Every structure is written in structure tokens, then in C-alpha cells.
Structure 1
């Protein structure tokens, strides 16, 4: 556990005195408001993530539950090795957004040994979540090669949402660039809630040499192949199980390395669907906007998270500079495409940790999730 640092300790003295005498716990100091790294260096880890001490720390929204099915998808990007007490970061960046999520999807969860021992397993279990990993794909490489031959995929599902059947991981056959040594693939499970069945799939497509369908031929070809193989896998799994478990909804989430946005009818993500002949099977964010989806409190009308850079990420990951960002997405199966019914209400939101200054500027906290943004979706089936 990180201990208090000595530098700038005079700034903490009024707060400590106030705590001793039952006064105000912390006056939001303008200096620390603009210097989250200095605040990190000053206090203990649990204090850094304590919103009662740092009112600028932005928590994520909650969601309603009755009659709905909700999924959170987030690429944690090696955060377990970087965050040795992951429970604190889970509490502040994932705590509220997972509060009533039925299923939480992760990608790049490669160091399973740390995940099990240090969180988020324990943290999620305290909220009533159960952990699910692809059978036989447990990532615990004692030699440090945590990405080797491993999907990095995992799920949590909450009590009250029943795991009906775990499906077998399908590794992708076309992966290139930096991803060749990883077990990229698609994986899923069938869940039951309130008498309805939900098919939920998790994936992480190839990044390769250049991400986000930006014109690198080999990398783009890999992602198109990943989408084609995922579609075939999802169709086969639904066909094989729908007699016993008729789907109310099919949801496909993850990091597709191809940006989806509701601001454009032909985003890179949608181009990926078209090139894989998958656009007739899935709704995507632009379609959600046309269906009067309810926007989350931290989402702009374009379904992009409410911050696209402007400050350097100075934390351990150190990657979020300028307008660079990596968005998870959750796609909803179209009515009848997989034998399911139509969604009659959709709510959608992007989120990420946020340190807000006293002037309202958003900065990356020191313990950052790098350039990744999560997604939350809540859908009400019409059957």
C-alpha cells in the first residue's frame, strides 16, 4: 500500500486537524485541484480515491434495473499490474456504473493472478457479482508473459442474473502485428433474468500495427476477419441453443478497435460492420441515436465521452495525450437477426475516470485507465 509522502505536507495539516476535531475533512485546495499527481504523491491510495476528500473526482452514473438488462464493457488495459490495490480504482471508476449492471465485460485482463488475489474479484463479489473466465484460458504466466496465448477476456455477472450456460472461447484465425502472440477471440454466455434469456458476447479485435480501421491493410483485414468470425460464432451459438433458451436480446460488446459514433452514419465502426456483412445483424450507436436512446449524464449528443484529451496523462500508463481515445462499444442484435425480439428502450453512456478542477476542467487522474473509455448500455426487450 502506498504511504503518505512528506512533500507539501503543510497543505494537509488543516485537513488533519479538522479530522481530529470532527470538522470538515478536506477543503478542496486549488493547488491540488489542478495537480492530481501532487495529490497522489501526498496521500494514501484510499484517500486519493475518496470523493469526500476530493469532490472534483467524478463518479459514474447509476442505472435503473426493473424490466431492463444492462451491460458494461471496459478494456482495463493491464490495470491490475499498474494498480496494486485495484479495489480502490474499481470503487471510484467502476463502482456506480456497475451498481446495477447485469453483466460486466472486460478486455485486456491478462494478469489473472493479480486479478484474483488483489481485485476486482473481491471488490465485485462484495457487490454480489460472480466471476467468469473462458474455461482453460487462465492467464497466470509466472515468467511475466501475461499476454501470451491468452484472450484477456472475462465477465462478472450479478446475483439475480443467472448464468445459464458458458460458451466456448473461439480464437481468431487472423491476427497480425503486436497481437500475434495473444489469444484474441470471441466468447460468450447465456444469462437468465426475470424469465427471459440474454446472449452476451465479449471480444477484443486485433489492433495490429495501426488501430481503428485507419488504412493499414493487414490490420484492417484482420479486424474484418475478426468481425466475420465473430458473427459466424454468434449465429452458431444462438442456433445451437435457442430451442432451449429463446433469446430476448443478443448483445455483443468489447473493444473492436474501430470507432463507433452516433454522430456519423458511416463511422469506422459501421464500415467494419459493412465490410464483414454484419450490418444487417447489429444495431450500433448511430442507430441508437435514431431510436431516441436516453443519453447518460456524462455523454454528449454524439455518443462520444465528454472529454477527448487536452491534457497529458502523467500516470503509470502515460498514453492519453491530445485527442487519443479508445472506446468500447456494445452492439445490440437487430430484431429477428438471431431470433430475438426488438428492443423497445435503450439507454447508453460512455464513461472514464475524471478529475475535475475547481474551474471545471477535466484532467486525467494519476491512477489512470490510460486512453480507454468504457461503455454502459441498458436495453428493455419488447417481448
Structure 2
């Protein structure tokens, strides 16, 4: 039997229901408002099981027929969450991966630990295959796991065929904390229902100060990263379009320059302008103007801030209030890449979600960082 001492004056021992040898505790309004206390009270498997812990809310889902969808998430491996990442990912991705055609990761530098012990098996159980730049694992245990590869990984779903994997293009300009990392851009062509989709993954320079905040060297690196990415994407599409005419070009990742749907001149858009890429990519503000379907966990700015919630204090917690690092998925403009305008767009974000019995969304106990994933679903126009 597990004895629990709750926070504050809420102290009592709940009856234990023995089900096949496991302990199941009564989930009440106190526990629903105190994810830490609930985490301490129950077995870890019970904490991550939404049927036993109704505070866990699965994130956005999406329809599959006639659509192509991509989810992107910076998994931020630099905290000790490897062992339990499968459980956390189950909740943080939620229903997204049940129909996303391609899932992009960044910061998966130590593939042997992160991938083999973490999401690889979990994603395989959902019918996903994994690809990495060059097809190799990277594990540089002696000199640092970030030194020998890009940290970029893709998973693609059964029913979505891999057509071609491109060669990673390392960025030529990085600075600050990123000088020892092989930052770059990478992509692949996928086929679904007779149509071809070009999907690219990246993680731009953070440098000394992220998010295009005025640090000259860091901002210059990000602008260079965007210019190089655009040239790389254009070259790959142009070299393959005759054999594999694109229905969509999607470019996802952590750009370290936040985009917003309610700001026509966000830092992300400023990055596009300074890299002369605004005529090549649509971004969240454009999606809003296209009447994109907004996910239920989003604020009007397509940013999943945890309004009204507590700061995560878990063993892997990195979040501080509403400060967050957003992935983004950009869509190539039809005129720039030679395909028809999309018929329908949906755009959303996700992160581990805990809702109380009164509907307040809070940080759960066992999150790992301040990153938010992004998901886009597009119905091609032809």
C-alpha cells in the first residue's frame, strides 16, 4: 500500500483498488488541480494513462482522407527525460500521430539514447518508420552528442510512401552556443494517394540570443540559415519536379523566430523579409487570412500558451510561465513552387496537456521543456 501526504491541509489516505496487482487511487478535485500530488500518489503508468488520470487530455486530432499532415516538435534532449520519453510523448503528441503523415523532430542528437530508448519504439508501434540524414545513428559519447550530426529526424506513417531522401545541407553560418553543432536543413519526398509531397526539416541557429531579438551575430546567422534553406528547397524541387511534381512543399522546424497568426509583422515574418523568403513561403498569419481551421488548444495567435496554468515544477521542467519556444510549419507558396493553391488548411499546436475538473489547463508535472510542437493539415488543390 502506498501512503500519500498531500500538500496543504488536504491529507488523507485514499482507498486502494487492486486491479491485477496495480494500485489505482481515487481521482478527486484536489488531485485534478495538483498534478504533482497526483504524480506522487499513483504509479507512473497510471499517471500517464488518461483512462485512470482524466486530467490528461489528448491533443488535436485530424482527418486523413485527401489530406496531408505534418507535425513538428523540438524534443530538446538536453534534460534527463530519455527513460520516460515514450510515456511523455504518448501524451504530448496525443492523437496527432494517429493520422499525421510525417512527424519532424529537432534536437534528437543522441540517436542511440533518444531514439532507441525513446520515441522510436513508440512511433513504430503506431505504424511509423524513421529516417535520419545519411541513414546513420549519431552517438558521440566522448566529445559531446551534439557535435556529429544535425539532430534532425523524420517519422513517416504506413500508407505514406518514402520516395527519396535528400542529403543534409549544413548551414555555413552559426554562432554562439551553436558553433559546435551541425545545424542544417534536410528533406525528403513522400507519396500519398498518387500525389507527391516535399517535406523539409530544420533547426535554425539560436546563437547568443534567440528569436530575432536584436543580437546582431545571432540574427545574421538565422537570416543566413533562411536564405540557405530557401535555396536548398528550391534546388531540390527543381531537380525532381519532372519525375515527382509537387502537390505541396512544407518546411517545418524550430526557426528560433516566432511566427504568429495575429501579427502581420512578427519576428518570424521579419526573418522571412530579411532573407527575401516572404514571396516563397506562407506562414501562420497567411493561414489565418486563408480561414484556416484553428485547433481548440490554440490562442488566436496560433500560440499554445498555458493561460491560467501553473509553471511546471517536474523533474524535467524547463517552462517559465507563458514563455515558450514554438515550432512552425511553413507552406511553400503555390506560385513559387508550381502547384495549385490548397483547398483547405488546418493549423494547431500541442504540448502535454492537463485539464482540471473545472476545465483549467495546467502544466502537468512531468513535462520536459518549454517547447511547443506544431501541426498542419492541408488538402491540395489538384
TM-score (norm 2): 0.93
| Structure 2: distance between partners of 1:362 and 1:79 | 26
Residues 1-383 of structure 1 mapped to structure 2, 5 A cutoff: 6-8=3-5, 13-16=14-17, 19=19, 26-78=25-77, 81-135=80-134, 138-143=137-142, 145-307=144-306, 311-383=310-382
How far has the Cα of 1:217 moved from its partner?
A: 0.6
Q: Deviations over 1:230-282 (max 9, x none)?
A: 00000011111111111010000000000100001111000000000000000
| Structure 2: distance between partners of 1:143 and 1:6 | 43
| Structure 2: distance between partners of 1:316 and 1:79 | 13
How far has the Cα of 1:360 moved from its partner?
A: 3.0
For the 8 Å contact 1:252–1:331, the answer to whether it is kept is yes
How far has the Cα of 1:71 moved from its partner?
A: 0.3
| Structure 2: distance between partners of 1:291 and 1:68 | 16
For the 8 Å contact 1:309–1:324, the answer to whether it is kept is no
For the 8 Å contact 2:24–2:42, the answer to whether it is kept is no
For the 8 Å contact 2:187–2:198, the answer to whether it is kept is yes
| Structure 1: distance between partners of 2:374 and 2:332 | 17
Over 3 Å counting, the alpha-carbon distance change for 1:32 and 1:261 in structure 2 is same
How far has the Cα of 1:7 moved from its partner?
A: 4.1
Give unpaired runs (5+ residues) of structure 2: none
Query: Which segment drifts farther, 247-256 or 346-355?
Result: 346-355
For the 8 Å contact 2:196–2:245, the answer to whether it is kept is yes
| Structure 2: distance between partners of 1:284 and 1:368 | 28
How far has the Cα of 1:92 moved from its partner?
A: 1.6
How far has the Cα of 1:42 moved from its partner?
A: 2.9
For the 8 Å contact 2:74–2:327, the answer to whether it is kept is yes
| Structure 2: distance between partners of 1:296 and 1:103 | 18
| Structure 1: distance between partners of 2:192 and 2:362 | 38
SS of 1:57 mapped into structure 2: coil
TM-score (norm 1): 0.93
| Structure 1: distance between partners of 2:298 and 2:212 | 24
For the 8 Å contact 1:308–1:324, the answer to whether it is kept is no
| Structure 2: distance between partners of 1:131 and 1:80 | 23
Q: Deviations over 1:79-132 (max 9, x none)?
A: 784140322112222131111000000001112112343231111111110001
Over 3 Å counting, the alpha-carbon distance change for 1:12 and 1:128 in structure 2 is farther
RMSD: 2.3
SS of 1:218 mapped into structure 2: helix
For the 8 Å contact 2:104–2:252, the answer to whether it is kept is yes
Over 3 Å counting, the alpha-carbon distance change for 1:144 and 1:126 in structure 2 is farther
SS of 1:82 mapped into structure 2: coil
Over 3 Å counting, the alpha-carbon distance change for 1:20 and 1:254 in structure 2 is closer
Give unpaired runs (5+ residues) of structure 1: none
Q: Deviations over 1:61-87 (max 9, x none)?
A: 210011100000011111784140322
For the 8 Å contact 1:250–1:340, the answer to whether it is kept is no
